[in-house]
Chain A
Amino acid sequence: MKVAASRATENLIGFMTILRREYDRIIRIWGQTLVPPAMTSTLYFIIFGGLIGARVGSFDGIPYMQFIAPGLIMMAVITTSYGNVVSSFFGAKFGKHIEELLVAPLPPSLILLGYLGGGLIRGLLVGALVTVVTLLFTHIRVDHPWLVVASVVLTSLTFALGGFINAVFAKTFDQINWFPTFVLTPLTYFGGVFYSITVLPGWAQSLSHANPVLYMVNTFRYGFYSRSDVNLTVAWSLMVATVGVLFALAYVLLKRGTGVRD
């Protein structure tokens, strides 16, 4: 009993150490990790919200600038959660310092949770920063704060897991850039960040429902304005199931040592 408790304490210390190391990395290179999403969001607000948005009008009575705000926050969370884990884990593989963790008495689940925690921390920090930027341009109301938190956490975890799995298989830096360029960015842009899918023709609406980002953006937007293009029960179920499946896959890969052990 005492041995098990001591093991649990050691595991907790190990997990917190990974988390702290990830946090230190985010803060150490803040110019790369925190500033660019805030800058990009500012530009989006100026161009899409200010210049073009004034001509677009509103969606369901929500002014365009306010309408896109949750989507822009979510877009920043998605790209940074993904980017943090993929670059940190692949960097550790490439520099071989992943071996520091592999030789240590840490179960694979804790190593995985440590990296996911890093992705979540950066996702939430960037989300908070972009929210501050948003408030400089427009006001936003929050109808369901806990749904906002739950959807942002689930989305961040989903893409942190995606980044982890990508990093496990990647052998070159090109391979960690391929997914964000050809998959993540198109899914995000077509995921209802800038528009409601109700303006699309029928076939495009159906196609949009195959895009997981659509569900994430809409659950998040529902938390602010009680408005969604998708069925919320389906959306929450999908998000929880996605995190579960991706976590199981990432865990099995790490336990087997795929990409990190010969």
Chain B
Amino acid sequence: MLALSLRGLTKTYKNGNQALKGIDLDVEEGDFFALLGPNGAGKTTTIGIVTSLVNKTAGHVSVFGIDTDLELERAKSCIGLIPQEMNFNMFETPQAIVENQAGFYGIPRRLARERTEKYLRQMQLWDRRKSMARSLSGGMKRRLMIARALVHEPRLLILDEPTAGVDIEIRRSMWEFLTEINAAGTTIILTTHYLEEAESLCRNIAIIDRGHIAMHDTMPNVLRRLQSEVFVLNLHDPAAAVPALPAMGVKQIDPVTLEVELNKDQDLNAVFAVLSAAGLRVMSMRNKVNRLEELFMRLVSQEAPGATGSVP
């Protein structure tokens, strides 16, 4: 079953800006899906329409097969949203914010209280449940929005830049938590600027640019489209000069670190042979992260993107 299906989704704002130009997108139930795009590409507009924060101009949205034009409230009850910007009352307590949100979804008070405790504890906010929300740190506020979005236990969780401004430790623990709830059956759609985040968490990906879906495929397929890869080599002794590696891009980062870019048809043995002949010992090697970023930059810099690919 499809958790989310968009057909011909169009949005033109009052100022004439056409944010979405008829996008089609499917997200399978149980997926961990990345929706990427540069600022102004249409990600937040898409999420806004799905969660009914933005009025669509044309097109259809269905959530778990429920058409939002016919049964909006039923469709909304399946969705949990963690928005990009803080959108809770800063003068309320975390407990009141989460408990009230449960009430807005029709959850009886007793159950709402139990779930509020459960999710505030999971987000390590239970000790601060009586504090004014405005007194929480940036990371705590983000976690509060996660607890609030989960309190009605949605089947589809949408996260718009959830880890922006969150320190590495909290970001990692959020990743673990999201992986857990996805494994438990919650479909997750994620937008992020940290492409490493999308690469390590998501199974499928769509890249949106200027209101079009520029690419929609599985993460491995997307990464396979890369024509080259960059490896970082750590040397035992400083290299006096950059060794000549024919048809490969070599950059010396510092005396003991080299970056080598290889095309897909080139092999690492040739690199090691040249370095060995030059008397250089390679102590360790790693793949340079943010491969997705490279592809992303390449895609969004193209002038006329069109919808391509599909999720197999």
Contact = CB atoms under 8 A, between A and B. Distances in A.
B96 interface: yes
Majority secondary structure of chain B interface residues (helix, strand, loop or mixed): loop
Interface stretch (B102-110, B123-131, B166-174): B102-110
B52 A102 contact: yes
Nearest to B83: A99
B106 A13 contact: yes
Contact of A13 (B72, B74, B77, B108): B108
Interface stretch (A3-11, A125-133, A193-201): A3-11
B88 A103 contact: no
Contacts of A104: 76, 101, 104-105
Interface residues of B, number: 35
Majority secondary structure of chain A interface residues (helix, strand, loop or mixed): helix
Contacts of B108: 13
Interface in B80-98: 81, 83, 85-91, 96-97
Contacts of A11: 106
A96 B145 CA distance: 13
B105 A100 contact: no
A261 B79 contact: no
Nearest to B50: A103
A92 B89 contact: yes
Contact of A106 (B48, B73, B83, B97): B73
B89 A95 contact: yes
A106 B104 CA distance: 7
Interface string B34-68: 00000000000100100111110000000000000
A192 B85 CA distance: 48
A28 to B, nearest CB: 8
A18 B48 CA distance: 22
Interface string A62-92: 0000000000000000000000000000001
Contacts of B104: 14, 17-18, 100-101, 104, 106
A256 to B, nearest CB: 8
A100 B134 CA distance: 17
A103 B73 contact: no
Nearest to A11: B106
A262 B13 contact: yes
25 contacts: A7-B74, A13-B106, A13-B109, A14-B105, A14-B106, A16-B103, A20-B100, A24-B96, A92-B89, A95-B87, A95-B89, A99-B83, A100-B101, A101-B104, A103-B51, A103-B79, A104-B101, A105-B72, A105-B73, A105-B76, A106-B104, A107-B73, A256-B55, A261-B54, A262-B54
Interface of A: 7, 9-11, 13-14, 16-18, 20-21, 24, 28, 92, 95-97, 99-107, 256-257, 261-262
